[in-house]
Amino acid sequence: MSRVNIAVAVAEDARSRIHEVAAGCRALGLDHTATLPVVGVLTGSMESDELTKLFGVPGVLAVEVGREIRSGITGRSPCHGREA
């Protein structure tokens, strides 16, 4: 099993009860880290093989798995040694 970061989209008609949706997701294993009620999103992490369970929670519209983005930027300025 591997734990993944996720964003759970809450249906527009369920946003008024987003905290209930979050509780249902937590009961199924979501390690809930944030609730964004204005946009209807819950964030957190969960075991990847358990994600489909979230669709059984009334109000869950979609589940998106986060990806690690590597930019290749090392923190050095491209103008290193020159005036910017």
The CATH number given to whatever domain includes residue 12 is 3.30.70.920
16: confidence class by pLDDT, cuts 50, 70, 90:
very high
Cα 3 to Cα 13: distance, rounded to the nearest angstrom:
29
Q: Which domain holds residue 38?
A: 3-65
Residue 79 has pLDDT above 60, yes or no: no
80: confidence class by pLDDT, cuts 50, 70, 90:
very low
State how many domains the chain has.
1
Buried b (16+ CB within 10 A) or exposed e, 73-83: eeeeeeeeeee
Q: In the beta sheet, which residues pair with residue 34? A: 43
What's the pTM?
A: 0.78
Distance of alpha carbon 36 from its chain centroid, rounded?
10
Cα 13 to Cα 58: distance, rounded to the nearest angstrom:
10
Residue 77 lies in a domain: no
Alpha helices in the chain, H assignment, sequence order: 18-27
Residue 27 lies in a domain: yes
Residue 76 lies in a domain: no
Cα 59 to Cα 11: distance, rounded to the nearest angstrom:
5
